[in-house]
């Protein structure tokens, strides 16, 4: 390349003479100005070297390379002009020099030196284009790219540059009318998503690639439905930044965003407007290593609390969130405490030492089937642990207390749900007795939390299936982790003593529909790539969850999506008398007595009768 540049630099200089002057005069001037030649042959290669133009793979050249050539040539010509008019002419090395000839030479150098480089790209494009039409695995698959943005353009270029993937892009589809009829890397944008069925027939499409990494789940589902009706296979592609980072390949599916699965727009709250009570406060989070607890810590840290105390029982999870906060919020005053909420004396001592203004209580056992087989653990952790934290909070004059509860506490059919309902009652009784802002927040199923259904389904899909679902008619309310945390912080800002808050999560979603969405958004097809197997309800599970009991009156709050469950007063003496009994039975591991006492304390507690699957006996 360097030898070619030297030859072309000489050629460009000679051509500039002959373009500026007639043949005889040009030769005469060349004899007078020949000392310019060595300077030219040194300056241009040096500039090209400094701009890295000898280290580039020109078959992948683009606009950045064009700009680099122009910049290098411009700098070299500018230095040459300074050398000619600032050194050579004053020292009489040359006599005069035509200024227009400098401009002509500059333009010719860009054209010739750039042309020889881009000729390799043109040859590469022609060669790979021919290969891509042939394909290394036989006839290439004809691909319709849905999305004519940056991601789609990158995908098409990747197909052209890597014929071994055996894909031939035959057209784009995009809903932006300004793009329709134009070409991207030689591939035409034919129409919008409505045209997919007709284009699939006309262009003989084998597969559609959905290159819309930032599109909402609703749009992706609509496109998936159109592709299914057109009878063409489809796949979603990774986000553009993932492609740029080289983390994924074309053969990999796009990482499904949890918001895609909600079947509603995620609730978004401007926490900046409501989280002023956090700034400067001492805040304690129990269960700080869990999915909700750790996200709470992240959000709280944003609002500069005076002191954040992370309390948890599992050292690894607590260590992980503490290290993350250390990196992201190095100036945040914080303490990390490994403790079990069942240790009443230690919890009391911790709250007396730090005397937090706000406590977020998210520590709990939450797995329904596990708690059915470990009833005593559910009592000691969810009931006695909550009692310990609440009583310690009262003694330490905590101003705001927020319990993380669950929709499974409403007319519970499981041990876990019943224990969480008692935890709500403990908080309500403490609020009634003290008049302090002690409240509870009910969640639906939190997408992406540890132990939730989505990570399980993802693992099953990655393993090739099958996806296991307990019952085809099972439904659940779903929310994302950010939504759950926003609800907690909103509840803490409202904090009317004794209230139970719930989020309007839209209509409940069938678990089987969630599984179908997850499979389709992963670029696979249910029944062909992945199967569903129904296993029957597990102990403690029920088909449908609720957010409010029959005795609770649903009332609105100042926030559109937040509601209050107005419930009947709690008899504190009876509540704690029954809790003492539960503690005694848990110490004896007397499951029968525990279940009997739970039914007395929570009248709505009805242990689930497992419905038979169709065809069962």
Residue range 63-95, pLDDT digits in tens: 778 888 899 889 988 988 888 888 887 777 776
| Residue 189 in this model has a pLDDT that exceeds 80 | yes
| Residue 244 in this model has a pLDDT that exceeds 80 | no
- Can you tell me the distance from the alpha carbon of 372 to that of 318, in angstroms, rounded to the nearest whole number? 27
> What kind and span of H or E run contains 452?
none
Nearest residue to 501 via CA among 445, 450, 558: 558
Confidence at residue 356, expressed as pLDDT on a 0 to 100 scale: 96
Confidence at residue 548, expressed as pLDDT on a 0 to 100 scale: 63
105-132 pLDDT, tens digit each: 889 888 888 888 878 777 766 665 555 4
Confidence at residue 5, expressed as pLDDT on a 0 to 100 scale: 85
Higher pLDDT, 453 or 26: 453
473-507 pLDDT, tens digit each: 777 767 777 777 877 887 788 777 888 887 766 67
CA atoms within 13 Å, Cβ hemisphere of 467: 29
State the DSSP string of 170-181: EEEE-S-TTTTT
| Residue 261 in this model has a pLDDT that exceeds 90 | no
Strand, coil or helix: 50: helix
Asked if residue 368 lies in contact with residue 474, where contact means CB atoms within 8 angstroms, the answer is: no
Confidence at residue 43, expressed as pLDDT on a 0 to 100 scale: 87
| Residue 572 in this model has a pLDDT that exceeds 80 | yes
| Residue 223 in this model has a pLDDT that exceeds 50 | yes
- Can you tell me the distance from the alpha carbon of 199 to that of 189, in angstroms, rounded to the nearest whole number? 11
Strand, coil or helix: 234: strand
Candidate list 179, 366, 408, 420, residue with the active-site label? 408
Locate tokens 């592709």: which residue?
227
Average pLDDT in the 345-371 region? 93
pTM to 2 decimal places: 0.58
Average pLDDT in the 444-449 region? 66
Q: What percent of the chain is predicted at pLDDT more than 90?
A: 27
SS3 track for 340-399? CCCCHHHHHHHHHHHCCCEEEECCCCCCHHHHHHCHHHHHHHHHHHHHHHHHHHHHCCCC
511-531 pLDDT, tens digit each: 787 778 777 766 667 777 778
| Confidence class for position 391, pLDDT limits 50, 70, 90 | very high
| Residue 238 in this model has a pLDDT that exceeds 60 | no
**Active-site residue 561, yes or no?**
no
Residue 300: exposed, middle, or buried by beta-carbon count in 10 A (0-12, 13-18, 19+)?
Answer: buried
501: left (phi over 0), alpha (psi -120 to 50) or beta: beta
330-339 pLDDT, tens digit each: 999 999 999 9
- Provide the 10 A C-beta neighbour count for residue 551: 11
CA atoms within 13 Å, Cβ hemisphere of 181: 2
C-alpha distances in angstroms, 17 versus 6, 13, 110, 129, 324?
17, 6, 16, 40, 66
Asked if residue 486 lies in contact with residue 302, where contact means CB atoms within 8 angstroms, the answer is: no
- Provide the 10 A C-beta neighbour count for residue 245: 10
Confidence at residue 260, expressed as pLDDT on a 0 to 100 scale: 54
Confidence at residue 611, expressed as pLDDT on a 0 to 100 scale: 46
Sign of the torsion angle spanned by Cα atoms 253, 258, 264, 266: negative
263-285 pLDDT, tens digit each: 555 556 556 666 778 889 999 99
Q: Give residues with Cβ within 8 angstroms of 270, minimum separation 6.
A: none
Asked if residue 442 lies in contact with residue 411, where contact means CB atoms within 8 angstroms, the answer is: no
Domains of the chain (ranges plus CATH)? 2-132 (no CATH), 137-255 (3.40.50.720), 276-445+479-504+550-601 (3.40.50.720)
C-alpha distances in angstroms, 71 versus 44, 45, 57, 109, 114?
11, 13, 18, 12, 12
Asked if residue 173 lies in contact with residue 182, where contact means CB atoms within 8 angstroms, the answer is: no
């Amino acid at each position: 390349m360097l030898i070619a540049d030297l030859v072309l630099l000489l050629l460009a200089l000679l051509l500039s003479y002959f373009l500026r002057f007639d043949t005889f005069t040009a030769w005469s001037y060349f004899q007078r100005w020949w000392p310019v030649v060595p300077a030219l042959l040194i300056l241009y290669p040096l500039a090209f070297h400094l701009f890295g133009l000898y280290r580039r793979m020109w078959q992948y050249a683009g606009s950045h390379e064009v700009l680099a050539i122009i910049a290098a040539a411009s700098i070299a010509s500018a230095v040459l002009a300074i050398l000619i008019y600032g050194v050579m002419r004053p020292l009489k090395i040359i006599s005069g020099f035509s200024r227009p000839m400098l401009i002509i030479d500059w333009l010719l150098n860009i054209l010739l030196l750039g042309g020889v480089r881009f000729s390799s790209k043109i040859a590469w494009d022609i060669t790979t284009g021919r290969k891509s039409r042939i394909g290394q695995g036989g006839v290439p698959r004809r691909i319709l790219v849905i999305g004519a943005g940056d991601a789609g353009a990158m995908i098409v270029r990747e197909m052209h540059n890597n014929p071994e993937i055996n894909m031939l892009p035959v057209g784009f589809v995009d809903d932006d009318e300004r793009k329709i009829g134009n070409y991207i890397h030689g591939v035409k944008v034919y129409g919008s998503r409505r045209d997919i069925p007709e284009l699939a027939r006309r262009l003989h499409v084998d597969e559609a690639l959905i290159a819309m990494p930032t599109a909402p789940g609703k749009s992706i589902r609509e496109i998936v439905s159109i592709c299914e009706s057109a009878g063409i296979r489809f796949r979603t592609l990774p986000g553009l930044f993932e492609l740029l980072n080289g983390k994924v390949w074309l053969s990999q599916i796009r990482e499904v965003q949890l918001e895609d699965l909600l079947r509603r727009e995620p609730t978004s709250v401007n926490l900046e407007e409501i989280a002023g009570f956090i700034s400067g406060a001492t805040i304690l989070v129990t269960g700080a290593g869990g999915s909700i607890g750790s996200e709470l810590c992240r959000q709280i840290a944003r609002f500069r609390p005076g002191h954040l105390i992370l309390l948890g029982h599992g050292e690894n999870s607590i260590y992980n969130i503490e290290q993350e906060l250390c990196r992201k919020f190095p100036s945040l005053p914080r303490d990390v405490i490994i403790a079990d909420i069942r240790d009443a004396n230690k919890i009391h001592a911790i709250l007396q030492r730090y005397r937090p203004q706000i406590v977020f209580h998210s520590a709990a056992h939450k797995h329904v089937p596990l708690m059915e087989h470990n009833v005593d653990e559910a009592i000691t952790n969810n009931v006695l642990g909550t009692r310990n934290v609440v009583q310690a909070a009262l003694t330490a004059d905590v101003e705001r207390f927020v319990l993380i509860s669950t929709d499974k506490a409403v007319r519970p059919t499981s041990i876990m749900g019943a224990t969480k309902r008692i935890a709500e009652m403990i908080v309500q009784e403490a609020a009634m007795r003290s008049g302090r802002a002690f409240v509870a927040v009910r969640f639906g199923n939190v997408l992406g939390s540890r132990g939730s259904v989505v990570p399980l389904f993802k693992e099953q899909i990655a393993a090739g299936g099958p996806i296991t679902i307990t019952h085809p008619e099972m439904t659940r309310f779903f929310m994302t982790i950010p939504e759950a945390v926003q609800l907690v912080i909103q509840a803490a800002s409202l904090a009317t003593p004794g209230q139970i808050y719930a989020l309007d999560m839209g209509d409940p979603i069938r678990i089987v529909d969630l599984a179908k969405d997850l499979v389709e958004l992963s670029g696979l097809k249910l029944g062909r790539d992945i199967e569903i197997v129904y296993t029957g309800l597990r102990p403690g599970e029920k088909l449908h969850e609720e957010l409010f009991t029959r005795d609770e009156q649903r009332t609105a709050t100042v926030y559109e999506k937040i509601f209050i469950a107005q419930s009947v007063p709690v008899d504190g003496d009876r509540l704690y008398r029954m809790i003492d009994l539960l503690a005694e039975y848990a110490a004896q591991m007397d499951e029968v007595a525990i279940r009997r006492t739970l039914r007395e304390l929570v009248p709505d507690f009805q242990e689930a009768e497992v419905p038979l699957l169709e065809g069962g006996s």
